């Protein structure tokens, strides 16, 4: 690292930690040194009225869904606000879990500044039907860094649905690290809903490991925050593990979202799919960087990734960087990326049947992202998130 | 210039056939009437029920009763057929100040109309026109027409790509919609369709204008003698 660099105000507020910049390959489109233009000092405790928390919680489209809810308010785990899982097969241990050493910048920030967290364990063989939601709320207060850390351990043969919801108001930098271990034959349906405040910054680091025959269905909706960077590493560490990783962006204004996925096939006969559907309007910028690594000996790997962008304005932008690193010789791997605007023939067809332009565009946006939403196994969650997609254009005054 | 000096009056209850060779402007006429982008009307006017049709957006025209059955119906992946039809019907009803249809009422309506046109439940479950054969697409267009109950139906080469059985089903569907307060413009290249949908008036379109109008027998005359004679007249 270049010690001659003048630290930015944001870096000084973070105790002199240097933020990632455009000369780092993974960060070429997301230069945090320039994009984070004010200090976000690591936060102390903030007192919040219960009424305020309830109000914020109820803005979630999943608020009325039956779920166990583990609530973090401004980076502190709030047991009082939480509804613990009824099942005795789910264990919850408050406190910061250990983070595996990493020089990844988002993980490093978390290692330095995480204030609270929990460890969630699901006993081997347990089938947990009721979804478990981790709800991270930020209230309107001075700009600050809010960092949390969660570890999830799903025992062999167990199954569960885990939701991570991020919401808030005001100006803050949220840093969230989550590590997930799926045991042999475990199944996890994971849904992330990022609808942070419009003035917020969202930095996430995910580390997911699948043992043999484990099945992961992973969906992330990126809709909030002015600046979003989501890193995730998936390791298929046992034979016949199967990961389907999907995401959708709904970005307008000057929103910036960058997802960086690394899927590592460490053992033979594993399957991975990445499918990202990104919608950008106004001056929004979306980035998708997906890397698939096939280790030596990981034969019969089946790995595919695709990213598709829908650009609703001339000034919106999308960048895709697919990468394959293959060290085995009997594999099927592929990637694809497309970008385009709304199909005018589709639009005319809908309008010729009496559907007003705004509504027709909204239908086509929802249709575009649908394939990614199909990854969500739970009908309630898919419907609730689908409504966000359908209502998105109207909620922000529509595309030009 | 694709349409030039075209003059046409269609009264409620009438079925007009417009015949013409390729490139005569048949499809352009249908797109201009339905409001597709990319067509500029430099001169002339279109009056629909006393109102300036050209000033209306496509969805406004639809709500006022204009329906185009496309020559090549558009496939829209990700948009479910039933949802599309329901949104369309209720958007039109809303625009007209009518009460929106409830889901059960809507389902009953569509199922009854679909059965008559041989549109299967399976087709209704798919995305709009996706994976439909040519004949299925045409039947789906007529189903939309039957559900939306327009007052001006424009059928653009609805017979193209249909075998004789499919043609009969589609024609029966169209004929069932004939009524004293509904007008139809049937655009076709061949006389065959007009054996099933018998028009009140037949027009010959050539080089952007109507060069001859007559009764239903004009279609047979065209079939025997071809369009060449009229192209000479138009030149």
Domain residues of chain A, as ranges? Answer: 1-38, 40-343
Buried b (16+ CB within 10 A) or exposed e, B85-118: bbbbbbbbbeeeeeeebeeeebeebbeebbeebb
| Closest residue by Cα to residue A279 from A257, A247, A311 | A311
Rounded to the nearest 10 degrees, how much is the dihedral formed by the CA atoms of B94, B97, B103, B107? -100
User: Which of B34, B35, B57, B59 to mutate to test binding with chain A, by most A CBs within 10 Å of its CB?
Assistant: B59
Bridge partners (DSSP) of residue A162 are A132, A190
Instruction: State how far Cα A276 lies from the chain centre.
Output: 12
At B199-210, the pLDDT tens digits run: 999 999 998 989
ipTM score assigned to the predicted complex: 0.95
Asked whether the beta carbons of B34 and B66 are under 8 A apart, the reply is yes
In the predicted structure, residue B216 carries a pLDDT above the cut 50: yes
Q: DSSP E strands: which ranges in A142-296?
A: 145-154, 159-168, 173-182, 187-195, 201-210, 215-222, 227-236, 242-251, 256-265, 271-280, 285-294
Residue-averaged pLDDT of chain A: 94
Band of residue A400 on the pLDDT scale cut at 50, 70, 90? very low
Bridge partners (DSSP) of residue A120 are A92, A152
**Residue keyed to tokens 């105790």:** A15
At A221-244, the pLDDT tens digits run: 999 999 999 999 999 999 999 999
Rounded to the nearest 10 degrees, how much is the dihedral formed by the CA atoms of B24, B26, B29, B33? 180
C-alpha–C-alpha distance, residues B116 and B168, integer Å: 12
Sequence-separated (6 or more) residues with CB below 8 Å from residue B164 = none
User: Which of A248, A354, A357 to mutate to test binding with chain B, by most B CBs within 10 Å of its CB?
Assistant: A354
* Among the partner residues A349, A359, A368, nearest to B74 by beta-carbon distance: A349
Closest residue, chain B, to A390 (C-alpha): B79
Band of residue A102 on the pLDDT scale cut at 50, 70, 90? confident
Cβ contact A360–B59 (<8 Å): yes
In the predicted structure, residue B232 carries a pLDDT above the cut 70: no
A158: which DSSP letter? -
Find the helix packing angle between A357-373 and A344-352, rounded to 10°.
120
Between B5 and B54, the higher pLDDT residue = B54
At A129-172, the pLDDT tens digits run: 999 999 999 999 999 999 999 999 999 999 999 999 999 999 99
A374 at B interface, C-beta within 8 A? no
**Mean pLDDT (whole number) for B135-161:** 94
At A172-217, the pLDDT tens digits run: 999 999 999 999 999 999 999 999 999 999 999 999 999 999 999 9
At A326-337, the pLDDT tens digits run: 999 999 999 999
A66: which DSSP letter? -
- Chain B residues at the A interface, defined by Cβ less than 8 Å, are 34-37, 57-59, 61-63, 67-68, 70, 73-74, 76-79, 84, 87-89, 91-92, 95, 127-128, 144, 148
Q: In chain A, what residues touch B76 (CB-CB under 8 Å)?
A: 346, 349-350, 364, 367
Closest residue, chain B, to A366 (C-alpha): B78
Cβ contact B144–A356 (<8 Å): no
Asked whether the beta carbons of A84 and A162 are under 8 A apart, the reply is no
Q: DSSP E strands: which ranges in chain B?
A: 15-19, 47-48, 51-52, 66-69, 76-80, 127-128, 152-156, 183-188, 201-206, 209-214
Structural domains of chain B in order of their starting residue, each with its CATH number = 15-77+147-234 (3.40.50.300)
């Amino acid at each position: 690292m270049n010690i001659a660099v003048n630290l930015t105000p944001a870096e000084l507020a973070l105790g002199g930690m240097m933020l990632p910049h455009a000369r780092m390959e993974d960060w070429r489109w997301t230069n945090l040194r320039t994009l984070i233009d004010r200090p976000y000092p690591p936060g102390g405790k903030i007192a919040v009225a219960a009424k305020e928390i309830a109000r914020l919680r109820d803005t979630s489209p999943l608020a009325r869904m039956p779920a166990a809810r583990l609530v973090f308010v401004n980076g502190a785990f709030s047991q009082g606000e939480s509804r613990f899982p009824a099942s005795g097969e789910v264990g919850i241990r408050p406190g910061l879990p250990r983070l595996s050493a990493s020089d990844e910048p988002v993980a490093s920030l978390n290692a330095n500044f995480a204030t609270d967290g929990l460890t969630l364990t699901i006993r081997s063989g347990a089938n947990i039907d009721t979804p478990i939601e981790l709800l991270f709320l930020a209230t309107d207060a001075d700009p600050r860094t809010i960092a949390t850390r969660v570890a999830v351990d799903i025992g062999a043969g167990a199954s569960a649905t885990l939701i991570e919801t991020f919401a808030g108001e005001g100006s803050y930098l949220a840093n969230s690290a989550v590590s997930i271990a799926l045991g042999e034959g475990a199944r996890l349906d994971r849904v992330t809903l990022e609808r942070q405040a419009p003035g917020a910054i969202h930095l996430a680091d995910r580390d997911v490991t699948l043992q043999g025959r484990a099945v992961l269905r992973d969906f992330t909706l990126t809709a909030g925050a002015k600046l979003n960077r989501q890193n995730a590493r998936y390791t298929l560490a046992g034979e016949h593990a199967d990961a389907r990783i999907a995401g959708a962006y709904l970005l307008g204004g000057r929103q910036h979202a960058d997802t960086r996925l690394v899927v590592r096939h460490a053992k033979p006969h594993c399957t991975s799919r990445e499918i990202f559907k990104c919608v950008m309007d106004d001056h929004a910028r979306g980035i998708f960087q997906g890397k698939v690594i096939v280790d030596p000996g990981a034969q019969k790997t089946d790995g595919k990734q695709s990213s598709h962008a829908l650009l609703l304005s001339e000034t919106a932008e999308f960048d895709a960087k697919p990468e394959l690193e293959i060290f085995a010789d009997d594999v099927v791997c592929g990637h694809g990326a497309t970008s385009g605007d709304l199909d005018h023939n589709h639009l005319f067809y809908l309008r010729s049947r009496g559907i007003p332009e705004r509504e027709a565009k909204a239908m086509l946006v929802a249709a575009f992202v649908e394939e990614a939403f199909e990854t969500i196994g739970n009908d309630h969650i898919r419907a609730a998130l689908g409504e966000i997609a359908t209502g998105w254009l109207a909620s922000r005054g529509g595309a030009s | 210039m694709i349409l030039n000096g075209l003059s046409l009056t269609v009264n409620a209850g009438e079925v007009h056939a417009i015949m013409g060779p390729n490139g005569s402007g048949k499809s352009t006429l249908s797109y201009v009437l339905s409001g597709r982008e990319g067509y500029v009307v430099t001169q002339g006017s279109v009056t629909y029920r006393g109102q300036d049709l050209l000033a209306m957006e496509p969805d406004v025209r639809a709500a006022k009763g204009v329906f185009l059955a496309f020559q090549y119906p558009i496939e829209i992946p990700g948009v479910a057929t039933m949802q599309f039809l329901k949104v369309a019907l209720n958007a039109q009803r809303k625009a007209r100040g009518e009460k929106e249809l409830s889901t059960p009422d809507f389902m009953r309506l569509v199922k009854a109309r679909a059965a008559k046109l041989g549109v299967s439940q399976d087709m209704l479950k798919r995305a709009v026109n996706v994976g439909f054969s040519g004949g299925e697409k045409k039947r789906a267009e007529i189903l939309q027409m039957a559900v939306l109950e327009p007052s001006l139906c424009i059928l653009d080469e609805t017979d193209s790509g249909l075998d004789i059985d499919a043609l009969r089903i589609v024609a029966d569907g169209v004929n069932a919609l004939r009524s004293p307060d509904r007008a139809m413009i049937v655009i076709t290249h061949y006389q065959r369709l007009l054996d099933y949908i018998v028009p009140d008036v037949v027009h010959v379109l050539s080089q952007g204008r109507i060069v001859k109008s007559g009764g239903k027998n004009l279609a047979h005359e065209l079939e025997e003698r071809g369009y060449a004679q009229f192209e000479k007249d138009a030149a």
